[in-house]
Amino acid sequence: MQEKELSDNPMDLIKNIETVLNDTLEIISKCFNEEELKTVAPLVAGKHSPLIALRSRLKDIEPNARKEVGKVLTDALEKVNETFHAKGQELALLSELNYEKVDLTQYVASLNSIYGNGLGALHPVTVAQGELEDIFVAMGFSVMDGPEAETDWYNFEALNIPKDHPARGMWDTFYLNTAQPETILMRAHTSPVQVRVMKTYEPPIYTVMPGRCFRRDTPDARHLAIFHQIEGLVIDKDINFGHLAGTIEKFTSSYFGPNIHARLRPAYFPFTEPSAEFEITCTICSGDGCRTCSNTGWIELGGCGMVDPEVFKAVGIDSEVWNGFAFGFGIDRLVQMKYSLSDMRDLTENDLRIMLQF
Ligand code: FA5
């Protein structure tokens, strides 16, 4: 900044103050980091500040005008001071943000150098969910969903599992500590969504309901605490077990291909009667028996059955007119078997050596 020629004329001095003020503000505004701002600090205060230097000229102007010019100078000094401090705060915030900034392009570049292709992709369970939805939509089903935090009524009671029913032990459940009068829990299966659908829509109903489920299961080779199911529900007239078996046969062969070896075994669920479990030959050991299938040679993929009249009663559907079937399959289990993963936990650990194979 150049030294200005000073004069004893008050108007000239005021003009001079304004010019120096504007120059100083411009210099402050051009600082891009705290270091640069530090180097311009002498402009704001101290004997090298050109504005403070102008103070010595006050004594050379006539006393009547001195007060007015003095005020212009004081205001200019205040303005510089304020601008300097505001700029300091702005640059401090910027440097904090820069410090916390994560450069994802560098991360992707380093993945590229290690794995060849660091581009993101959908998780295999998400892909499987999409594929299953497509299969069912092609069969004439709609796709619906429901809340992950549920009431006890939807997760259990409406499904013919009253409090203290021993079958509650089949679903080791996470309960939420809320101030609600109703018991709220993380749904242990997707079956509460079929209750919501039946309460909301008039039959006939052909729908699937995929989503996350939560259980206090210790993770092991074929269990996770957070996993995915796809629920199916058909309500119409004159539906029989053959329709259920045919539907399961169709969707499993569409998902796995025609060579899958499968069986239905009698089972118990409080909300279906009769009930069955659907199993396929373990794809890890081809049925010989291994750690994943607990040496049985079979892996259970899901449960199913004809909707129990008690459930129809809970949702207000006339079981004299309508009947139907329901099923619930583990999507993570389907993926595990399709890709012969000996341990389901591989799906959650995000190990890129595994994920990049999908
Ligand atoms: C049920 O959850 C029933 N709601 C299924 C059903 C629906 C029956 C409609 C009848 C009518 P189950 O607890 O067996 O059933 O679970 C069904 C499937 O979910 C299992 O076969 C398995 O594939 C998957 N699954 C269950 N628990 C886990 C877990 N902890 N981790 C991963 N997958 C699981």
Inside any domain, residue 82: yes
| Per-residue pLDDT at 76 | 93
What tens digit of pLDDT does each residue of 314-331 get? 999 999 999 999 999 999
What's the pLDDT score for residue 61? 84
Identify whether residues 172 and 61 lie together within a single domain.
no
| 251 and 293 housed in the same domain | yes
CA of 12 to the centre of ligand 1 (A): 88
| 162 and 42 housed in the same domain | no
- Residues 92 and 206 occupy one common structural domain: no
pTM for the full model? 0.72
Contact 251, 302 (CB under 8 A): no
Last residue of a domain, one of 42, 65, 100: 100
In this prediction, residue 4 has a pLDDT band, given cuts at 50, 70 and 90, of very low
Residues 266-312 pLDDT 10s: 999 999 999 999 999 999 999 999 999 999 999 999 999 999 999 99
Tell me, yes or no, whether 106 lies in a domain. Answer: no
CA of 229 to the centre of ligand 1 (A): 7
Give the number of domains in the chain: 2
Closest CA to 230 of 251, 204, 244, 209: 209
The upper half-sphere exposure of residue 99, i.e. CA atoms within 13 Å in the direction of its Cβ, equals: 7
First to last CA, the chain: 64
* 178 shares a domain with 83: no
Residue 204 DSSP class: P
Q: Are residues 166 and 200 in the same domain?
A: yes
Strands 142-143 and 262-269, bridge-based pairing = unpaired
Do residue 153 and residue 204 come from a single domain?
yes
- CB 154 near ligand 1, within 6 Å: no
Task: Tell me, yes or no, whether 1 lies in a domain.
Answer: no
| 93 lies in the same domain as 139 | no
Range of the domain at 70: 10-100
Going by pLDDT thresholds of 50, 70 and 90, the confidence category of residue 219 is very high
Is 115 within the bounds of a domain? no
Phi first, then psi: what are they for 4, rounded to 5°? Answer: -95, 150
Distance (Å, rounded) from C-alpha 73 to C-alpha 305? 89
Cβ of 308 closer than 6 Å to ligand 1, yes or no, is: no
Given the CA of residue 217, which atom of ligand 1 is nearest to it? 30
Distance 52 CA to ligand 1 centre (A): 80
Other CB atoms within 10 Å distance of the CB of residue 48: 11
Within this chain, do residues 95 and 149 fall inside the same structural domain, yes or no?
no
The 10s digit of each residue's pLDDT in 247-272 is 999 999 999 998 888 999 999 999 99
Ligand 1 closest atom vs CA 188: 2
CA distance 284 to 249: 21
326 lines ligand 1 (CB under 6 A): yes
Give the other-Cβ count within 10 Å of 230's Cβ. 24
Q: Tell me whether residue 88 is in a domain.
A: yes
Residues 196 and 304 in one domain: yes
The pLDDT of 226-242, averaged and rounded, is 98
Ligand 1 atom closest to the CA of 189, numbered from 1? 2
Q: Is the CB of 230 under 6 A from ligand 1?
A: no
What's the gap in Å between 68 CA and the centre of ligand 1?
86
In a domain, 107, yes or no: no
Q: Residue 119 — pLDDT band, cuts 50, 70, 90?
A: low
| The pLDDT of residue 335 is above 90 | yes
Please indicate, yes or no, whether residues 68 and 191 belong to a single structural domain of this protein.
no
Residue 155: the pLDDT is 97
What is the crossing angle of helices 331-338 and 124-138, to 10°?
A: 100
pLDDT for 172 beyond 50: yes
- Give the residue from 325, 315, 305, 321 showing the smallest Cα distance to 205: 325
Q: At what angle do helices 124-138 and 241-256 cross, to 10 degrees?
A: 130
Which of the listed residues 212, 217, 227, 280 should we mutate to test ligand 1's pocket, taking the one with most ligand atoms within 8 A of CB?
227
Does residue 317 sit within a domain?
Answer: yes
265 occurs within a structural domain: yes
Mean of pLDDT over the chain: 91
